[in-house]
Structure 1
């Protein structure tokens, strides 16, 4: 018998269990968590903690059709909390930015992407991951993060401008003597 047998009564008087809903989302939740921590055990811990938090507040969910975005928001907040506690570096795979590059540029691109992504704030990382890695629309991100669409658009635009500026020189800066003392 499962401990997640809490039910949601929808408008058609159907009962939907938390367990049923979470099973539909579990793979996506793991992928989101893994993209934050790049470690299987930490990702599983984050998913587990998010599921527990979701179960505890399941009765407060107003509309079942928003379950996926609601539980994803809980997971993202849990992942960000985890990162703040551990202060781990999030390493992205270079393919996330450019799947068509050649092997000789791989290490330079990896260093650039990792360095820039490491310097972003958790909220900026979240925006990039949700929009470009997972393909969420602006309106879906707005729901997940509980912010107006205009705010999401402007934050995403500023984050992309920041990344663009930081990546403009690309690998050209590696190997040069530092001007800092």
Structure 2
């Protein structure tokens, strides 16, 4: 309820309310951006660009209860814009520090992120929004501007491709993905 009141204030032009909403959702926005670009600096840039574009267009938001869906849609567009821009640059190897205690877990996480990046954009977005952001299918459909059945198809096909990329049922992370549908 508090979120909706803040969103309504932000729509009416209250910049402090918009800032408070960004603080509330900043961790979720950052995690989503990081999944797309896999590095801290770019993820922070995406969140910053999302905040800027969101502030400029908040008055266009029609339904306050879909604020996070609306903002996530902006974030995804910002992420893809950055990814396209980066494709024109020389790629550098991603640097990840692995501690010995978490090395196996981090390697599995890296494998999943690398596999996600191999998917078509529509499959990747559906999986990220549904599994990593815990959005219900109807909200994923709104963010992606597709029917709910398309989202279900994207999830099914994306999971099948992930399963293939990750070596079948040997990968434990697939069980977590399969349990939500």
> Normalising TM by the smaller chain, what interval?
0.5 to 0.7
Change (3 A) 1:157 1:38: same
TM-aligned CA deviation for residue 71 of structure 1? 0.4
TM-aligned CA deviation for residue 128 of structure 1? 1.6
Q: Higher Cα Rg: structure 1 or 2?
A: 1
Match of 1:17 in 2: 17
Match of 1:124 in 2: 123
Change (3 A) 1:120 1:16: same
Asked if the contact 1:46/1:79 (under 8 Å) is kept, the reply is: yes
Counterpart Cα distance in 1 of 2:20 and 2:58: 13
Is 1:71 matched with 2:71? yes
Query: What TM-score results when the alignment is normalised by the length of structure 1?
Result: 0.68
Is 1:154 matched with 2:153? yes
TM-aligned CA deviation for residue 86 of structure 1? 0.9
1:147-167, CA deviations, whole angstroms, 9 ceiling, x for partnerless residues?
Answer: 211111111112122222333
Counterpart Cα distance in 2 of 1:20 and 1:62: 19
Counterpart Cα distance in 2 of 1:157 and 1:135: 16
Runs of 5+ unmatched residues, structure 2: 1-8, 97-102, 171-181
Decide which of 5, 8, 11 is 1:8's aligned counterpart.
11
Structure 1 window deviating more from structure 2 (67-76 vs 79-88): it is 79-88
Asked if the contact 1:112/1:170 (under 8 Å) is kept, the reply is: no
Change (3 A) 1:75 1:17: same
Counterpart Cα distance in 1 of 2:44 and 2:155: 28
Query: What TM-score results when the alignment is normalised by the length of structure 2?
Result: 0.68
TM-aligned CA deviation for residue 38 of structure 1? 2.0
Runs of 5+ unmatched residues, structure 1: 1-5, 94-101, 172-181
Change (3 A) 1:35 1:114: closer
Is 1:139 matched with 2:142? no
Structure 1 window deviating more from structure 2 (140-149 vs 159-168): it is 159-168
